[in-house]
Amino acid sequence: MRPIDKPVLDARTVFDTCTATARPKTVRTKLQALKDTVAAAAAEYDTAATARALHTLGHLKDLPDGEPKKKGGLNKELKNTYSSRMVHKKSAGRDFYDQLLKEAPDDRCALCGQGIADTLDHQLPKAHYPLLAVAPANLVPACRDCNYYKGEEAPLNAEQQTLHPYYDGEIHDHTWLVARVSGPPKPAVVFAAVPPPEMPSLLAARVRHHFTILKLARLYNPQAGPELRNLSRSLPRLSAKAVLEHLRERAEDWAVSEGVNSWQAALYRALANSPWYTGGGYKEPWK
């Protein structure tokens, strides 16, 4: 996860703009009457997210209709406020959508750090929380894979909440992404979320949940291949001592530039700590 500053956009203003041109007029009138309700829900969301307690917002679920699939109800129109009145390129709220999307670090997904951020993910799904469908703090720039894997499940408890880029930046005060190197006959790398003992238990549980739900091992494992191929060509030119120094320096460089929990930093830490790899395993070709 890549931390992002919380949006400065006002939830009431965003909702007001998105619904001001809704059609027909009867729908617009009903939606505009919900401005205070939506603003109050967004304020509750901010408080809960700050406390890592989005699971406590169950009382907002399926409001205002109280029925998730009620035909012709306000829930459907609230969800349409996102899809038709914010995402649509000619919609009144498209500027807000683009503004949120542009906050993606290097245009990359804030949830996995790798994919292209070309959509916004609802941290609490709009299917169950229509009042938060266009609440800025609930919308995170993400890749389509992460958005798909995360799905529409709402957290039932604190441990089941994925990491929130706007509220959980301190998770990178701890090194929890690890790479495991194996060999011979050739080096193989597998990534895993292994929170350290000193990490608060709730954060540790959420890290593991985030890693599992978004299938980050499946994303990160193949990334090691090109790095190992390059190393198998370049490291044999160095002395044994220089190999170890190079790997440690690269681990530190990646930790500074991409974060201690980037797959690159984790990979180079693991390579530097592998006696087999530093003892000559790096000479084995990666195929």
Q: What is the pLDDT of residues 142-167, one digit of tens each?
A: 999 999 999 998 999 999 999 999 99
pLDDT at 70: 64
pLDDT at 153: 85
**Would you say residue 79 has pLDDT above 70?**
yes
pLDDT at 197: 97
**Would you say residue 183 has pLDDT above 90?**
no
φ and ψ of 141, to 5 deg:
-65, 125
**Would you say residue 287 has pLDDT above 60?**
no
- Average pLDDT of 8-29? 97
Vertex 104 angle, CA 260 and 157, to 5°: 70
Whether the bond between 195 and the residue before it is cis, its omega within 30 degrees of 0, is: no
Residue 182, strand partner residues: 188
- Average pLDDT of 94-114? 97
Residue among 128, 134, 10, 135 at smallest CA distance from 63: 128
Kind plus residue range of the DSSP H or E element containing 121: strand 119-122
In tens, the pLDDT along 225-252 reads 999 999 999 999 999 899 999 999 999 9
**Would you say residue 68 has pLDDT above 70?**
no
**CB-CB contact of 114 with 104 (8 Å):** no
Residue 66's pLDDT band (boundaries 50, 70, 90)?
A: confident
Task: Give the single-character DSSP code of 183.
Answer: -
Residue among 105, 30, 103, 104 at smallest CA distance from 64: 30
